[in-house]
Structure formats: structure tokens, C-alpha cells
């Protein structure tokens, strides 16, 4: 069995950096052993020792370049994704904005009659739709990101999470552009949000992005094992559009159901954004703390799943 | 030693019934399935010193590529010890892996940064890479319009430019015309003279004899012979002839 503490190469490691790398690699072997043990009966495969990095190695991970340019690789992935996505389409990037806008026109023409007393219904709807579209598109592309970029994974050893993070960048660009347009509309109509409101809105977008990345990290490594996960998620996010208070004001629901609605991550971000940008009434400190805690929990869970299943991804592709 | 591997083992488990979706797992939960164990690597030892070139030969399915992928950190070993003391540049599966919707320049930048070059370094290297691959005239042409030979030449050009300390090469000099192969050999000799350590996998006995003072012959995941390049090359030819006769 794996005896990480007893491994001599690991004991010899001179720095914490190398020790951490060795521990991680050792855990990867251990995880492989546990996985196989559970599936086929423990004890069939014996781990003789952990894989360990060397004391003087600048590259603690086998195959990794010691000076890997994370920012450069991320930028190249984002730029080429953008190019592939919009190159050759008639309207390019504008097309990405048209989808939520078309949805807005349809929903607006129907639901203004249903909720005639709702203040700023059009603005609330369009803000909610753009934020939800970001969640929907980013999680869908994030979920298939490792599978879609499998040709890169088999070629070299590099931080694979970059592929997941890069895949969520284009939907983020769309929501940032849409947010800029909404803020411009508010400014033109003399309702420019206060600096604090703007800062809070940016914070919500940041937390929302963290939730999206957390989900994408976990789902991308599960998707290579369960190939119908994208179809299940497609149905879930479609249903989620009606769970989140986008089309309807949350006040139409009895208060006892509000907590349930807020369990769906986009709900709180959409409601908080409306509160600061349109109502000028930021939610309470407790509500903010809850959102931060939920984001931190999502990130921790996403990273844990990614680290558990991520090392086996190349073998499943 | 730059690379030390002792007792490396790797097995793949082939299920009697493939389940790749949640639906298949749910509906098949009550049906037992068996797994066939395919031992791809079995107790493989390997040592590689700085500046050395080690050849690896073996028939298809003998475990060569799996061994390289474990050394490069792409696959995990089931058991054994592995110490890697230098950054590795893997030149694996070079015939595939381009994004067909991007042009050559963008593909070079993408592949270069993934293989460990900094973005600035990759940008500076673009003209040299296109020149080596002889595709300068098609720099802005999407890869889907390239012939397989052109795409493979570009892959070799990127890989040879992205080289770090240790080179791990699967089937070098296997693409292109005589001129391109000669340029690849010349570039490889330059890298070797500059002190790069190389692990070279090939089916070509002449390549192993010419470039590898030391080599290993893998057979069914085990090291069947460790010796000079010439010894291993002739043992490989014998093994291949025996297999085709049987």
C-alpha cells in the first residue's frame, strides 16, 4: 500500500514547494489505487511507492516546463476561442448578444401584461436575462471544455485547468458588454448608479464567475466519464431559467419559498444586481456574507472534484 | 540521473460492457460486469543521464507510448518510482492536435504556449517555425486546408523549437519528404550537440542504430533487452520477423 511518509525521495526534498509537488503526485497514485480498488476489489494492484519529484528539480511535475507562462497560455486560449467562435459568422460577436436580446423581446411582450405593476420590468428582465445567459453559456462550454480540447491534453503536460477557465471567458465578455450597455442606458436616463453600487455589481460578477468556474472544473472532469452530463445540464439550466426570479418578481412567491429560490446560484446574483443598480438599495451585510460563503463553498467543492478526478482525464479521453 | 524509473507498472482495465453515460450506469447498476486486466507496463526500469540519448523499440502495443506518457506526466503509473529532475518537452502524437479552424500562426502560438514556450518567445519564433516547416506562404491559411504532410511538418517545427531540457520523441523523422527529414535530423543533431537529453522511440532500426548509443527493447510491457542501439535494433528485427512468421 501507499506509504507516503516512508518514501525516501520525498523525505529528501529540500523545499516546501517540492514537498507539496511530491505529496500531490503521491496522492494521484494513491487515488488511482483507491479508485481501482473500489471498482474491482482492493488489493489487486499494489502500489510499491509514491511517484516523487527530485530534490534539485526545478520542474517538480514530470513533463512540465519549469517556467510555464500561465498568463500567456491563458490569453492565447481565450483569443483563439474567441476567433474560432465568431470567425466566419455574419455578425460575429453581435450574434452572441442577440440571443438574450431576442429572448428579452419575446418575454417582454408577453409578461409586461402579466406583471403591469412591476417597476422597471424591462430593465429587470434584460439584466436578469443577460446574467442568466452568462451562467448558461459559460457552464455549458466549461462542462465540455476538457473533452473539446482533448487534442492538447494528449500532447503535453500543462495546467489543464487553464482550458476550463479559458472556456468561460467568451460568455464573460458578452455579459460585460451587455452590462456596459445597461449602465449606459441608466446613465442616459439620469439614473447613473453610485460608485458603491457599481463596485458591488462588479463584486457580484466576480463571485458569479467564481461559481461558474467551480461548476466547470467539477463538471469538465466528470463529463469525460459520463458523456450525457451535458444533455442533463442543458435541461437543468433551461428549467433553472424559470426557477430564478428572472421573468417573475420574487415577491409574487410566498416568503417561505424565497430560500429555496436562492439555493439556485444565479438567483441571488440577479436579485442583488437589480437591488444595487435599479433600486439603489444594497442587500444586507448578512446577505452578502451568505453569497461569499456560498461562492467559497462552491469553489472548494469544484476544486476538490477536479483534483479527485482530474489526473485520470487523459486516460478517459 | 535526470530521469530514474524503477518498477513502473501500468494496467488498463477493459470492461465486458462499456458504460459511458449516467443512463448506462443507472440502467446497468444491477448487472455485474467483469474487467479484463491488460498489463501494458510490467516492472519497467529506466535511467537516463544528462546529455544521453536512449532509444526504445518494440512492436505495436508493447507499451512504448504509455511509458513515454507516464514519464511526461500525462498518464499516471499504477506502481513504481519515478524521479524526473528536468523539464521535459514531449513530441508525441505530432500528426494530430491542430485546431482546423485556426490559421498556422494561431496554431503555432497555441501549441507553442501549451508546450511550454512563453507567449513572447512563441511570437518571436513564428517566422522561424514557418520557415522550418516550409509553410510561410500559407501562414494565414486555416489548418483545415493543409495537407496532412504540411500539418505534420508544422507540428515538428513547433516541437523542435519548443524544446526544453529533455526531449521525449515518439517516431521522429517519420514525416515529410527527404529534404524535410534531413532538416529534422540536422536539427536533432544540433539539439543533441547542445547537450539535450533524449528519449527516442522508433520502429526504424536505422534510426536507433544511428542516434542511440543505448537502447531498450520492450515486449508485452517488459524490458526484453537492454543494450547498445545496434544490439537492440537487430533484436527488434528478429522479434518482428518471428512475430510475422507466427
* 3-state SS, one letter per residue, for chain B: CCEEEEEEEEEEEEECCCCCCHHHHHHCCCCCCCEEEEEEEEEEEEEECCCCEEEEEECCCCCHHHHHHHHCCCCCCCEEEEEECCCEEEECCCCCCCCCCCEHHHHHHHHHHHCCCCHHHHHHHHHHHHHHHCCHHHCCCEHHHCCHHHHHHHHHHHHHHCCCCEEEEECCCCCCCHHHHHHHHHHHHHHHHCCCEEEEECCCHHHHHHHCCEEEEEECCEEEEEEEHHHHHHHHHHHHHHHHHC
Q: Do B82 and A315 touch (CB under 8 A)?
A: no
Q: Is the pLDDT of residue A10 over 50?
A: no
- Residue A27: predicted pLDDT: 41
Of residues B184 and A135, more confidence is placed in A135
- Give residues 80 to 99 of B whose Cβ lies within 8 Å of A: 80-90, 92-93, 96-99
- Does B81 sit within 8 Å of A226, measured CB to CB? no
Quick one: pLDDT band at residue A267, thresholds 50, 70, 90?
Answer: very high
**Which residues of chain A lie closer than 8 angstroms to B115, CB-CB?**
65, 155-156, 158
Task: Report the percentage of chain B scoring pLDDT > 70.
Answer: 96
Tens of pLDDT along B201-245? 999 999 899 899 999 999 999 999 999 999 999 999 999 998 888
The stretch A110-116 carries a mean pLDDT of: 72
Interface of A with B in 73-102 (CB under 8 A): 73, 75-77, 79-80, 83-84, 87
Number of domains within chain B: 1
Question: Shortest CB distance from A152 goes to which of B23, B97, B102?
Answer: B97
Which chain A residues have a beta carbon less than 8 Å from that of B116?
A: 64-65, 67-68, 156, 158
Q: Measured between alpha carbons, how far is A250 from A252 in angstroms, rounded to an integer?
A: 5
Q: Please tell me if residue B29 touches chain A, with a CB cutoff of 8 Å.
A: no
Is the model's pLDDT at A66 over the cut of 70?
A: no
**According to the model, what pLDDT value does residue A114 have?**
72
Predicted pLDDT of residue A86: 80
Least confident range of A1-10, A22-31, A34-43, B60-69: A1-10
| A57:B84 CB<8 A | yes
Average pLDDT over chain A reads 80
Q: What is the DSSP letter of A283?
A: P
- What's the first-to-final CA gap in chain B, in angstroms? 40
B78, A227: Cβ pair inside 8 Å?
A: no
**Three-state DSSP class for A14?**
coil
- pLDDT confidence bin for A67, thresholds 50/70/90: confident
Query: Could you tell me which residue, A213 or B150, shows the higher pLDDT?
Result: A213
Side-chain-facing half-sphere of A230: CA atoms under 13 Å: 18
Q: How confident is the model at residue B175 (pLDDT cuts 50, 70, 90)?
A: low
- B149 falls in which pLDDT band (50, 70, 90)? confident
pLDDT for A222 equals: 97
Percent of chain A with pLDDT over 90: 56
Q: Greater confidence, B77 or B246?
A: B77
Test the A interface: residue of B113, B124, B143, B167 with most A CBs within 10 Å: B113
**Best mutation site among A156, A158, A225, A235 for testing chain B: the one with the most B CBs within 10 Å?**
A156
In this prediction, what percent of chain A has a pLDDT beyond 70? 77
Higher-confidence position of A23 and A252: A252
pLDDT of A45 higher than 50: no
Alpha-carbon distance A222 to nearest alpha carbon in chain B (angstroms):
10
CATH number of the domain enclosing B91: 3.40.50.300
Answer whether residue A291 shows pLDDT above 90. yes
Average pLDDT over residues A265-286: 94
Cell, residue A54: 527530485
- Give the best residue of B5, B12, B73, B166 to mutate against chain A (max A CB count within 10 A): B73
User: Does the pLDDT value for residue A25 go beyond 50?
Assistant: no
Q: How confident is the model at residue A16 (pLDDT cuts 50, 70, 90)?
A: very low
CA of B85: which chain A residue's CA is closest? A57
B139 pLDDT above the threshold of 60: yes
Measured between CB atoms, does B16 come within 8 Å of chain A? no
Which residue among A45, A65, A314 sits closest to B87, beta carbon to beta carbon? A65
Looking at the complex, report in whole angstroms how far the Cα of residue B234 sits from the nearest Cα belonging to chain A. Answer: 30
Note the pLDDT of residue B92: 80
- pLDDT at position A246 over 50: yes
Average pLDDT over residues B183-192: 86
Q: Across residues B191-196, what is the average pLDDT? A: 89
Question: Which residues is B88 bridged to in the sheet?
Answer: B166
Q: Which residue has the cell 509553410?
A: B135
- Determine the structural domain holding residue B236 and report its residue range: 3-245
pLDDT of residue A299 exceeding 50, the answer is yes
Min Cα separation B219/chain A (Å): 21
Overall average pLDDT of the A105-111 stretch: 77
Query: Is the model's pLDDT at B29 over the cut of 90?
Result: no
Residue ranges of A 181-240 with Cβ closer than 8 A to chain B:
225-229, 232
Which whole number is the average pLDDT over A107-119?
73
| Residue closest to A156 by CA, chosen among A59, A222, A84 | A59
pLDDT band at B30 (very low <50, low <70, confident <90, very high): confident
B164 neighbors B116 (Cβ within 8 angstroms):
yes
Residues of A in contact with B87 (CB under 8 A): 58-59, 63-66
Is residue A48 over pLDDT 60? no
Helix ranges (DSSP H) in chain A: 8-11, 16-40, 70-86, 93-114, 121-143, 145-148, 150-153, 161-167, 169-188, 195-223, 229-243, 258-262, 265-274, 285-309, 313-316
Alpha carbon separation from B178 to A63, A196, B171 (Å, rounded)? 31, 67, 16
Q: Which residues of A257-271 are buried (b: 16+ CB within 10 A; e: fewer)?
A: eeeeebebbbbbbbb
Instruction: Give the gap in angstroms from C-alpha B112 to the nearest C-alpha of chain A.
Output: 9
CA distances to A2, A107, A311, B178 from A25, in Å:
12, 52, 9, 43
Closest partner residue to B114 among A44, A47, A158, by Cβ? A158
- Using an 8 Å CB-CB cutoff, list chain B residues near A229: 22
Closest among A58, A63, A51, A20 to A153, alpha carbons compared? A63
Interface predicted TM-score (ipTM):
0.88
Residue A303 reports pLDDT greater than 50:
yes
Mean pLDDT, residues B173-177 taken together = 68
In percent, how much of chain B has pLDDT > 90? 60
Q: Report yes or no: A154 at the B interface, CB cutoff 8 Å.
A: yes
Q: Closest-CA residue in chain B for A223? A: B21
Q: How confident is the model at residue A298 (pLDDT cuts 50, 70, 90)?
A: very high
| Cβ–Cβ below 8 Å for B96 and A151 | yes
Determine contact, residues B151/B94, Cβ cutoff 8 Å.
no
Compute the nearest-CA separation of B196 from chain A (Å).
14
User: Alpha-carbon distance B54 to B40, whole Å?
Assistant: 20
Amino acid at each position: 500500500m501507499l506509504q507516503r511518509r516512508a518514501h525516501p525521495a520525498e523525505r529528501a526534498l529540500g523545499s516546501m514547494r517540492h514537498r507539496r509537488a511530491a505529496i500531490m503526485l503521491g496522492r494521484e497514485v494513491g487515488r488511482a489505487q483507491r479508485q481501482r480498488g473500489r471498482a474491482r476489489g482492493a488489493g489487486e494492484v499494489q502500489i510499491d511507492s509514491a511517484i516523487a519529484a527530485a530534490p534539485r528539480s526545478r520542474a517538480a511535475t514530470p513533463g512540465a516546463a519549469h517556467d510555464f507562462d500561465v498568463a500567456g497560455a491563458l490569453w492565447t486560449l481565450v483569443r483563439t476561442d474567441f476567433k474560432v467562435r465568431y470567425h466566419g459568422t455574419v455578425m460575429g460577436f453581435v450574434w452572441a448578444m442577440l440571443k438574450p436580446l431576442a429572448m428579452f423581446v419575446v418575454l417582454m411582450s408577453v409578461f409586461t401584461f402579466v406583471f403591469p405593476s412591476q417597476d422597471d420590468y424591462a430593465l429587470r428582465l434584460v439584466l436578469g436575462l443577460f446574467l442568466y445567459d452568462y451562467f448558461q453559456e459559460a457552464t455549458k462550454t466549461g462542462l465540455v471544455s476538457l473533452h473539446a480540447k482533448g487534442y492538447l491534453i494528449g500532447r503535453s503536460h500543462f495546467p489543464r485547468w487553464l482550458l476550463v477557465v479559458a472556456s468561460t471567458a467568451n460568455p464573460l465578455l458578452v455579459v460585460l458588454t451587455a452590462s456596459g450597455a445597461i449602465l449606459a442606458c441608466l446613465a442616459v436616463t439620469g439614473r447613473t448608479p453610485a460608485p458603491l453600487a457599481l463596485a458591488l455589481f462588479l463584486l457580484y460578477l466576480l463571485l458569479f464567475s467564481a461559481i461558474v468556474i467551480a461548476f466547470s472544473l467539477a463538471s469538465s472532469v466528470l463529463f469525460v466519464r459520463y458523456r450525457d452530463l451535458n444533455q442533463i445540464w442543458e435541461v437543468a439550466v433551461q428549467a433553472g431559467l424559470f426557477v430564478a426570479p428572472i421573468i417573475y418578481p420574487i415577491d409574487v412567491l410566498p416568503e417561505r419559498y424565497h430560500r429555496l429560490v436562492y439555493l439556485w446560484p444565479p438567483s441571488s446574483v440577479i436579485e442583488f444586481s437589480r437591488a444595487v443598480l435599479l433600486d439603489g438599495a444594497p442587500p444586507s451585510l448578512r446577505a452578502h456574507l451568505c453569497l461569499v460563503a456560498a461562492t467559497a463553498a462552491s469553489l472548494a467543492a469544484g476544486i476538490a472534484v477536479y483534483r479527485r478526478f482530474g489526473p485520470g482525464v487523459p486516460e478517459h479521453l | 540521473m535526470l530521469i530514474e524509473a524503477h518498477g513502473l507498472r501500468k494496467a488498463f482495465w477493459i470492461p465486458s460492457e462499456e458504460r459511458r453515460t449516467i443512463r448506462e450506469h443507472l440502467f446497468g447498476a444491477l448487472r455485474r460486469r467483469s474487467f479484463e486486466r491488460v498489463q501494458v507496463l510490467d516492472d519497467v526500469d529506466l535511467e537516463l543521464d544528462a546529455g544521453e540519448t536512449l532509444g526504445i523499440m518494440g512492436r505495436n502495443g508493447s507499451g512504448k507510448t504509455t511509458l513515454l506518457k507516464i514519464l511526461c506526466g500525462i498518464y499516471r503509473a499504477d506502481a513504481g518510482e519515478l524521479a524526473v529532475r528536468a523539464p521535459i518537452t514531449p513530441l508525441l502524437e505530432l500528426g494530430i492536435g491542430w485546431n482546423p479552424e485556426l490559421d498556422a500562426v494561431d496554431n503555432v502560438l497555441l501549441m507553442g504556449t501549451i508546450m511550454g514556450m512563453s507567449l513572447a518567445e512563441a511570437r518571436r519564433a513564428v517566422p522561424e517555425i514557418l520557415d522550418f516547416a516550409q509553410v510561410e506562404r500559407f501562414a494565414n491559411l486555416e489548418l483545415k486546408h493543409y495537407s496532412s504532410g504540411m500539418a505534420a511538418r508544422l507540428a515538428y517545427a513547433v516541437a523542435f523549437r519548443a524544446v526544453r531540457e529533455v526531449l521525449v520523441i515518439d517516431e521522429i523523422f517519420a514525416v515529410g519528404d527527404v529534404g524535410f527529414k534531413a532538416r529534422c535530423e540536422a536539427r536533432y543533431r544540433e539539439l543533441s550537440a547542445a547537450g539535450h537529453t533524449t528519449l527516442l522511440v522508433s520502429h526504424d532500426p536505422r534510426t536507433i542504430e544511428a542516434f542511440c548509443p543505448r537502447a531498450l527493447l520492450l515486449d508485452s510491457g517488459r524490458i526484453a533487452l537492454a543494450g547498445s542501439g545496434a544490439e537492440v535494433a537487430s533484436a527488434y528485427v528478429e522479434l518482428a520477423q518471428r512475430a510475422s512468421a507466427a
